[in-house]
Amino acid sequence: MKTLVKTITHTLLCTVAAVIPRCALAQDPPPFHSCTVDVAGGFLDLPGKYGGDFRHGWNNFQAGGGFAVIAPHDSGNQWSLFITANFLFNQSAITAFAFEAVEPQVAMNSPAAPASGKGRFYATTLDPTFRLPRIGRVTAYGLAGFGWFRRELEFNGQNPATVLQPNGAVVFGQGGNSGAIDFGGGLNAGLTKGNGPMVFVEVRYVQGLAINSGTKLIPVSMGIRW
């Protein structure tokens, strides 16, 4: 009997010793981050009516943040839904061809002849963002929303003021505010196995409305997201 008790006790101890390390290794995954922030830069394309008027380049900036309204453990399928606010800014020089076309009109409304010009684009949108189930460290997502859009034109002139302002004095400016819609998608790639910081690449389409209906932006961005 004593031998049987010793055998059972030894077996139980061995089983506990074997299970404890496995439990330690099988810990719950890192907690899901219900808030998100990001910052990125990249290339901006301007197709459509005014696409040929601006020089395209790697001068795009965007930042955003938001919170989850559906977390993976709530969906039961590892997908999630965020509400995010995104800000976009771009500054592009006006092409020589477009500048020659508007120079006479600008000169008539300014104290000095324009020498150069640039356009600025601002957009702030509210975007529901749907993240698909994670595969390894990669998560695909899509977004769509609406918001505010502003397009500005600025022309600099050559006059004595350039001695004090080497970049040229502003001789004419024009801008307009409107609504905007946008949609797009991208990929998040985790830098760690858990829910930590990620690098991401994203493509969006932003369309101005009303007085900015002819302005379309396609930013291609890469950055860091948490």
- Specify the DSSP element, H or E, that contains 103: helix 96-108
Number of helices followed by number of strands (H, E) in the chain: 3, 8
9 falls within a domain: no
State the pLDDT at residue 154.
78
Grouped pLDDT means (10 residues each) for the chain, 226 residues: 48 43 44 86 85 78 94 71 95 70 52 66 96 91 97 70 50 77 96 85 96 92 96
Handedness of CA 181, 186, 192, 194 (dihedral sign): positive
- The answer to whether position 107 is within a domain reads yes
Question: Which pLDDT value is given to residue 15?
Answer: 41
Domain span at 184? 30-225
For residue 213, give both structure tokens.
């209906």
Residue 4 resides in a domain: no
Q: State which amino acid sits at residue 68.
A: A
Identify whether 48 is part of a domain.
yes
Taking alpha carbons only, the member of 92, 94, 152 closest to residue 122 is: 152
Q: Give domain status of residue 96, yes or no.
A: yes
23 in a domain, yes or no?
no
Domain count, the chain: 1
Please state, in angstroms and rounded to a whole number, the distance separating the CA atoms of residues 64 and 87.
6
Rounded Cα gap, residues 133 and 135, in angstroms: 6
For residue 58, give the CATH number of its domain. Answer: 2.40.160.20
Q: For position 145, what pLDDT does the model report?
A: 97
